[in-house]
């Protein structure tokens, strides 16, 4: 599927300013949509929106289907009559430039419990009808997830493999027993999920009305400590006790002599194929009910993935194993139609991966920070771009462009200056212009680069266990000239959409 020529900004909602403790789906999110529209930007790209666990990574969630409760806006709850106005009178003092997840959780989760009690006592009939409809239509994942989270709370947050045997193994009688025992907590979890999806869809509709579409992110793997693995053990390589026998990783390379040991459980693709890939069809259907375009993280794993025996301390002793290839995507396409998907094809990419991407018609990614320091034939250099791709100045895993440039070797800096014919003093905007002027159909810029921020604003450092995912911007950092520059570039380089272009590419069954 070809995308219209357009551009957008990468910013996870947690990085939005002003709301207490963490960016959320309230007024500042709507203000950000207005900024995107006034800056001529068609896309708002976000990271995975699921409920985060240990480490706060959106790529390690308790569910592949659920939303993150921390993104629920308390202000919206008051506006919608789901919290009393005095509920926000005593807000703790949170830092404004960083998310302190521990403190946010300690304040916000009791607030959501209070909202649930208020909803039960004061919610309107129409709200309660919508809630019940949500519980029914989403039961295929919501029931297991709500019980899973209730069990985690009951057992002090421990991983599901430490629970009593019967419920750990998801035995039907135990599921029934615990569902009855924990019914109120389960209903609370369902309610919080309803809040998230109500608020997100309200924001998405507002964005659509202003010509802005959402790009979401779908990680290939799921976390071991998740409702997905606990409720569907037959879909993963687990032993009789429910422990992984093999896990995901990346082989040794130039950047890491021991590779990367991710630790995610690996799929039983043979079982999934026998079932017509229904779990994946449901997953794609769900995410396209939330966003308009999907970026698949680690796309190369669908062609072949690095399998490491469980218990290894590094990823060295792994092997390549064939993935499902086109069969999975053909099953998804048969069920849902032709979907707007971006393939994250960074890293060790083989001709077989490229062939799969091209056979499926997915645009790949070109990252400008990876383009310099080599030869003129590097595919990420702008003169080698193709229309059917997505160009980024950098991603959530990269340093900011300012931080990257100032830490780059002198010969790389020299290459950048000579290639762009610039002196490097305004490197973030030099990169933005290079991305916007590219022939790539889609250009995406992290918000940190719009603000020309340094390494202090980096979102994630792969391999670093702490201090990731915390960055937030402040409105005073955003100047009118930055909005005007984006709008001017969108106009100059043909990324302002015509009426004919401005169609919802996700219309159809996937967005029903």
| Residues with catalytic function | 297, 344, 397
Instruction: Indicate the helix (H) or strand (E) that contains 214.
Output: strand 213-219
| CA distance linking residue 495 with residue 347, whole number of Å | 28
- Phi/psi-derived region of residue 467, left when phi > 0, alpha when psi is between -120 and 50, beta in every other case: left
* DSSP-based three-state secondary structure for 449: helix
Alpha carbon dihedral 399, 403, 408, 410, in 10-degree steps, equals 170
* CA atoms within 13 Å, Cβ hemisphere of 153: 17
Long-range contacts of 129-138 (CB under 8 A, 24+ apart): 130/194, 130/198, 131/190, 131/191, 131/194, 134/190, 134/193, 134/194, 134/197, 134/198, 135/190, 135/194, 138/65, 138/193, 138/197
Q: Lay out the sheet containing 246-250: strands in order across.
A: 260-265, 246-250, 304-309, 319-322
Question: Which positions ≥6 away from 135 have C-beta within 8 Å?
Answer: 142, 190, 194
**Which has the closest alpha carbon to 75: 36, 132, 21, 33?**
21
- Residue entry with tokens 């266990």: 465
* CA atoms within 13 Å, Cβ hemisphere of 29: 27
| CA distance linking residue 480 with residue 304, whole number of Å | 46
| CA distance linking residue 512 with residue 507, whole number of Å | 8
- Phi/psi-derived region of residue 170, left when phi > 0, alpha when psi is between -120 and 50, beta in every other case: left
Q: Can you list the positions of beta strands (E) in 254-406?
A: 260-265, 293-297, 304-309, 319-322, 341-343, 364-367, 389-392
């Amino acid at each position: 599927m070809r995308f219209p020529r357009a551009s957008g900004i990468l910013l996870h909602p947690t990085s939005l300013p002003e709301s207490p403790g963490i960016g959320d789906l309230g007024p500042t999110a709507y203000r950000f949509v207005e900024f995107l529209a006034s800056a001529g930007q068609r896309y708002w790209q976000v990271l995975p929106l699921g409920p985060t666990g240990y480490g706060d990574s959106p790529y390690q969630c308790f569910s592949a289907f659920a939303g993150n409760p921390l993104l629920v806006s308390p202000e919206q709850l008051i506006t919608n009559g789901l919290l009393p106005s005095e509920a926000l009178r005593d807000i703790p003092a949170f830092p404004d430039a960083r998310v302190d997840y521990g403190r946010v959780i300690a304040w916000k989760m009791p607030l959501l419990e209070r909202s649930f009690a208020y909803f039960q006592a004061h919610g309107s009939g129409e709200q309660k009808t919508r809630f019940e409809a949500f519980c029914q239509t989403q039961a295929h994942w919501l029931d297991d997830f709500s019980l899973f989270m209730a069990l985690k709370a009951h057992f002090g947050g421990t991983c599901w493999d430490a629970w009593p045997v019967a419920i750990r193994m998801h035995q039907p009688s135990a599921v029934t027993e615990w569902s009855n025992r924990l019914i109120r907590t389960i209903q609370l979890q369902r309610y919080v999920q309803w809040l998230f999806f109500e608020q997100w869809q309200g924001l998405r509709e507002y964005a659509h009305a202003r010509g802005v579409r959402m790009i979401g992110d779908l990680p290939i793997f799921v976390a071991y400590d998740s409702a997905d693995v606990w409720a569907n053990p037959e879909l993963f390589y687990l032993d009789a006790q429910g422990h992984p026998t093999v896990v995901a990783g990346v082989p040794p390379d130039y950047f890491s002599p021991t590779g990367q040991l991710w630790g995610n459980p690996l799929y039983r693709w043979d079982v999934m194929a026998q079932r017509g890939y229904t779990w994946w069809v449901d997953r794609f259907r769900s995410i396209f009910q939330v966003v308009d375009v999907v970026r698949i993280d680690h796309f190369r794993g669908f062609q072949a993935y690095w399998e490491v025996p469980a218990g290894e301390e590094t990823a060295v002793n792994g092997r390549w194993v064939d993935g499902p290839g086109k069969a999975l995507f053909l099953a998804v396409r048969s069920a849902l139609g032709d979907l707007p998907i971006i393939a994250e094809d960074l890293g060790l990419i083989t001709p077989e991966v490229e062939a799969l991407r091209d056979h499926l018609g997915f645009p790949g990614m070109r990252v400008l920070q990876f383009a310099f320091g080599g030869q003129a034939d590097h595919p990420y250099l702008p003169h080698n771009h193709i229309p059917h791709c997505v160009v980024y100045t950098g991603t959530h895993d990269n340093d900011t462009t300012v931080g990257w440039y100032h830490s780059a070797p002198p010969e790389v800096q020299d290459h950048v200056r000579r290639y762009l014919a610039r002196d490097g003093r305004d490197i973030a905007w030099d990169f933005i212009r290079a991305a916007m002027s590219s022939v790539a159909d889609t250009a995406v810029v992290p918000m940190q680069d719009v603000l020309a921020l340094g390494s202090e604003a980096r979102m994630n450092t792969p391999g670093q266990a702490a201090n990731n995912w915390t960055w937030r911007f402040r409105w005073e950092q955003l100047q009118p000239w930055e909005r005007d520059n984006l709008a001017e570039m969108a106009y100059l380089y043909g990324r302002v959409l015509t009426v004919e272009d401005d169609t919802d590419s996700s219309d159809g069954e996937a967005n029903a």
